[in-house]
Copies of this chain bind each other. A is one copy, B any other.
Amino acid sequence: MANRARVGVLGASGYTGAELVRLLLRHPRAEIALLTAERRAGLEMRQVFPQFAPFALPKLVSIDDVDWLGANLDVIFCALPHATTQKVVSAIFGAIPATKVVDLSADFRLGDTAAYAKWYGHEHHAPDLQKQAVYGLVEVHRRDIKNAHLVANPGCYTTTAQLPLVPLIKAKAIDLDEIVIDAKSGMTGAGRAVKESMIFSEVSEGFHAYGIGHHRHMAELDQEFSLAAGREVTVTFTPHLVPMNRGILATIYVRGKRGRTAEDLHAILLKSYAKEPFVHVLPFGETPQTRHVRGSNMTFIGVAKDRIEGRAIVVSALDNLVKGASGQAIQNMNLMLGLPEAMGLEQVALFP
């Protein structure tokens, strides 16, 4: 790798694509060498995202028109719609096996082919790659990521829920059968999809739950929580939509096991994350607001006592487009390339 890694972003016309570009433009060791978009192929990035007008960027091209060998990419980010990535990644590795890939879709998050087929309704198109893929929640799988070839970047909801819960589960500190995750997301979590339910007047000045009982992120939670627990764990999870652009907040209801109090749970988290650059545990009793992590790669976690003896309420917040997607993807890239993990991710949150 030269001084700057040559980076490709597939699916640059979506929000996670744009967020990758925002962050990579200021990454001292990266150079944006390729941007793809299908319907917008042939356009300049500024026509799709005017905020990039002041910057020199490659023109958008179709994936089909990419000369993979000639492009000479060190890393590729796939910010493509779910289910389309499998074939693309297979093709990439066929052409340029040494390139590293961070996939932001859900395609490689589930290690189990049966689970994939169950939740996504069809067989996986690249089962071999599925097995190789490393689940990219850095704070949990850092070691494996460093040596990975293909990283499956976690979902935004699942990152928000896992960061507070995995240490508690590993510590056997909470009852595994009574975890309730009530999650709330800003609208960019749904991407730039053009649907009636996403237009401004259908979203503004209102609040609602969706996907109750059957949201696909559940599969990821099951996999990772079960791994952490060493037994099967199934949680209750309800996502909601908040009339805001960015931010995701999970209110998590747990019961301490073997006498663990809310204070004990707080102490476990505080210790687990003492050295992590992107997870900040608030003082006991304080809980986070999404606005205070906006635009940054930080996760804020708080723990409070429930008034019911033995129960605690854990709240975590992050920016779904940064730590919940593109920031975490760059964190993965940094590890895969042997760069300092926090490089290019030091932006301070934008509030107000």
Chain A positions within 8 Å of B, measured between CB atoms, are 15, 18, 21-22, 25-26, 49-55, 178, 180, 182, 184, 186-188, 192-196, 198-210, 212-214, 218, 234, 236, 238, 240, 242-247, 249, 251, 253, 280, 282, 287-296, 298, 300, 304-308, 311, 313, 315, 317, 321, 346-352
Contact = CB atoms under 8 A, between A and B. Distances in A.
A205 B246 contact: yes
Contacts of A243: 200, 204, 242-244
Contact of A246 (B290, B293, B306, B352): B352
A217 to B, nearest CB: 12
B199 A294 contact: no
Given A213-B313, A313-B212, A199 B192 contact: yes
Nearest to A53: B280
How many monomers of this protein are in the complex?
4
Given A205-B246, A212-B313, A234-B308, A349 B51 contact: yes
A311 B237 CA distance: 12
Nearest to A18: B351
Nearest to A23: B348
A201 B187 contact: yes
A247 to B, nearest CB: 6
Given A22-B350, A182-B182, A306 B205 contact: no
Given A201-B187, A207-B247, A234 B307 contact: yes
B204 A51 contact: no
A205 B208 contact: no
Nearest to A237: B307
B201 A245 contact: yes
Nearest to A349: B51
Given A187-B200, A196-B194, A289 B207 contact: yes
A4 to B, nearest CB: 16
A194 B194 contact: yes
B280 A205 contact: no
Contacts of A53: 280, 282, 292, 300
Contact of A287 (B201, B212, B236): B212
A192 B188 contact: no
Contact of A192 (B196, B203, B290, B347): B196
Nearest first, the 3 closest Cβ-Cβ pairs linking A and B are A206-B291, A208-B289, A201-B352
Given A200-B199, A280-B54, A206 B304 contact: no
A352 B208 contact: no
Contact of A206 (B236, B282, B294): B294
Contacts of A245: 200-201, 204-205, 352
B206 A188 contact: no
A146 B185 CA distance: 43
A31 to B, nearest CB: 15
Contacts of A49: 292, 351
Given A199-B199, A242-B243, A287-B208, A213 B307 contact: yes
14 contacts: A22-B348, A51-B294, A51-B348, A54-B280, A180-B180, A186-B205, A187-B199, A200-B204, A205-B291, A206-B244, A206-B351, A209-B313, A236-B306, A294-B350
B207 A311 contact: no
A295 to B, nearest CB: 5
Contacts of A306: 212-213, 236
